[in-house]
Structure 1
Amino acid sequence: MRMGLGQLESGTDIAANLAAMDRFAAAAAAEGARLVAFPEYASYEKKVVDASFAAVAEPLDGPVCIALAGIAQRHGVALVAGVVEASGEPDRAYNTLAAFGPDGGLLAAYRKIHLFDAQGFSESRFIKPAPSAEPVVFDFGGLTFGLMTCYDLRFPELARGLSDAGAEVLLACSSWVPGEHKVRQWLSLTAARAIENGMYVAGVCQAPPISVGHSVLVDPMGVPHAELGTDSAVATVEVSADTVAAVRRQFPMFRQRRLHPHGGSLPGQL
């Protein structure tokens, strides 16, 4: 299956962000993509998360998600994008990935678990963490996709939980904060999550200056494909369930592991 990576340069103009996603989805669909993934905070983004995020937050049946569902329908693709979801608290929102099918129906919604309280940032001041740490996956085009957001990439147990839940392609939708060594860390972590779980990792990132760019698709052997630079752009690349299965046969880590993801040994293995 061919999928698209849409590297945006989102800002505070929601209409402009939606228009960019519409253009990129059209371009990816023209190249045969059946699913297009966009970054964290695709619909609304600033250099620092502040009170305005809660102010613009909407429910998943609000105007932003209706527009995203329409883009998916219009171009006949599945679409995944970061939105600011109303949480029920007036001062905090959810940082949510919403996935829509080609019919416009909601396939899945993932609320970010690990908030970016690092490098002097305090995302949790204005963003509410997911109430559940259960992995979120959805099936589309003969593949199972797992969802995670940005800082989640630094927590390998979440990626392992997604692979245990059946994920063959991990969508790591991100707005990776710039800084010393950050591009190297971004590329290293996407490759590590792919290798240790025998799955594709699609790291879809916001472009500079807010983020680092370098969106990339890493295959289950850790080989990068379709790496973008720092410009806002879209690229398409093939992903295959057969490739995942072949790599997992070659490296049967899930059958061989002796430690439970949450601690202790697996039954009958020690």
Structure 2
Amino acid sequence: MTITIATVQSHISADTRMNGRDIRRLMAEVRAAGARLVHFPEGALSGYVKSEINDWAAVDWAALRDEIEATAACASELGIWVVFGANHPQEPPTWPNNSLYVISDKGSQAGRYDKRLISHAEATSWYAPGTTPFVFEVDGYRFGCALCIEIHFPEIFTEYERLGVDCVLFSAYADDPMFGIEAQAHAAMNNIWLSLSTPATSTSLPCALIGPDGNPYGQLFDQGSGRFVCGKLDRHDPQYDIPLNKARPWRATVRNRTL
């Protein structure tokens, strides 16, 4: 059993409706490339604070709801799962969450991951933190979600390994190549696949699929409207025999020992 996924570098603007159209165009393109699940960057639909958003009062939440619904309808039409970054409103005075929405191939919301470990600037001016990990399953493969500076916290990724996740979908509104180095390290240390999705403006941190051995892989597509990497998750791929069937179970045994 295998699943083909695509990690995307999309254009992100202050116009939520433009972002939605771009997301749906890329959904069709990755579906044509054979993907079953498509993964978008942090803030892909809503825009990101301090970049596209400078004041919560200026946000058109109704437009964002419309675009989420339109994207869900597109997922159902294409028969594809989609994971995208968007702000999630809360009742004032609680600030919004920085979230990843997960939409199933039936067009229903399968869940939402709210970023748990937020920066000092976010905590004091912009976002309320989430509290729990989020895991969902597609075609027998388990996926977890993470956002931006959570890449600096190994406990996020070891937790997902303990929860039996095959692949972590990591979205970042960033252009720091260190994020890519850390992503490869987390994949290699926990023997998991990792999908890294960033904005089209991130020239130093391109989107990537990383195998459970820590090495990037997959086919790059550059469509002009956005670029994406497409690749399979395959537990029976011989090149991943050692990381998946030997290293991962042994490391789990070692971690559970009392030192």
Range class of TM-score, shorter chain:
0.7 to 0.9
Contact 2:197 2:207 in 1 (8 A): yes
Query: In 2, Cα distance between the equivalents of 1:13 and 1:53?
Result: 14
* Residues 50-199 of structure 1 aligned to structure 2 (within 5 Å): 50-53=53-56, 55-56=58-59, 58=61, 62-90=65-93, 92-117=95-120, 122-124=121-123, 125-130=125-130, 132=131, 134-176=132-174, 178=175, 182-183=176-177, 185-199=178-192
**In 1, are the aligned partners of 2:220 and 2:230 still within 8 Å (CA)?**
no
* Cα offset, 1:75, TM superposition: 1.3
Q: What is the Cα-based RMSD across aligned positions, in Å?
A: 2.5
- Are 1:22 and 1:71, in contact at CA under 8 Å, matched by a contact in 2? yes
Find the aligned partners of 1:234 and 1:255 in 2 and give their Cα distance. Answer: 36
8 Å CA contact 1:5, 1:38 repeated in 2: yes
For the residue of structure 2 that corresponds to 1:12, the secondary structure is coil
Deviates more, 1:194-203 or 1:243-252: 243-252
Question: How many angstroms apart in 2 are the aligned matches of 1:14 and 1:71?
Answer: 16
- Per-residue Cα deviation, 1:111-142 (whole angstroms, up to 9, x for no partner): 0011133xxxx122111111x1x221000121
1:262 maps to: none
> Contact 2:207–2:228 at 8 Å: present in 1 too?
no
Q: What is the alpha-carbon distance in structure 2 between the residues aligned to residue 7 and residue 241 of structure 1?
A: 26
Distance of 1:153 and 1:57 partners within structure 2: 30
Work out whether 1:241 is the aligned partner of 2:235. yes
The alignment partner of 1:10 has SS state of coil
Distance 1:164 1:245, change over 3 A: farther
TM-score scaled by length of structure 1:
0.83
Which structure's residues are more often helix, by fraction? 2
Question: Displacement, 1:256?
Answer: 1.6
Is the CA contact 1:58–1:84 (under 8 Å) kept in the aligned structure 2?
no
Q: Return the TM-score normalized by structure 2.
A: 0.86
Is the contact between residue 180 and residue 205 of structure 2 (CA under 8 Å) also seen in structure 1?
A: no
Q: Hey, what's the Cα distance between the residues in 2 that align with 1:192 and 1:212?
A: 18
What amino acid maps onto 1:41 in structure 2?
A: G
2:14 alignment partner, one of 5, 12, 15? 12
What do residues 183-225 of structure 1 show as CA deviations (whole Å, max 9, x unaligned)?
A: 1x1221110110111010101111216x744111110001112
Q: How many residues align?
A: 248
